[in-house]
Amino acid sequence: MRRHWFDVHPFSRLEGDSRFREPIELWVSEGFFDRLCGIFRCHGAPVLLRRCNAVHSAGLAKPIFVVFLDSDWVVLNRPRVLRPWSIAWLSSAAHVLESYRFPELAPGNRLHLRKSGF
């Protein structure tokens, strides 16, 4: 399946706080091979794995950060460090965000996805 670039705009669920942070550009992987390779195939760019609730770090030389999202794009956990050759899963997750840099997301933040123009 083809990958696309998206902007991600996290914002707080708290009422009255509708401020958008700086957008994050990332890859969206959906096909089996793209999911299998994950962040390794995207040369370090953040990766969003749709319809996924488990990830691995097999073959990676350094740790990655993993954030689980529900079906409404709400962050379910604080960024979790996943060491090389490890597995992480969350049964209630619908999507997973992988990144080498610490994503400034907190539980309860909601992501707004919009396709980038290029």
What averages of pLDDT result for each successive group of 10 residues across the chain (118 residues)?
58 54 73 71 79 89 94 92 96 93 86 65
Residue 116: its pLDDT value, please?
59
Helix (H) or strand (E) holding 34, with range, is helix 32-37
| Pairing mode of beta strands 24-29, 47-49 | parallel
In this structure, is residue 61 part of a structural domain?
yes
CATH of the domain at 80: 2.60.120.1140
In this structure, is residue 53 part of a structural domain?
yes
Hey, what's the torsion of the CAs at 104, 79, 38, 63, to 10 degrees?
110
pTM of the model: 0.80
**First and final CA of the chain: distance in angstroms?**
19
In this structure, is residue 93 part of a structural domain?
yes
What whole-number distance in Å separates Cα of residue 89 and Cα of residue 71?
15
Residue 96: its pLDDT value, please?
93
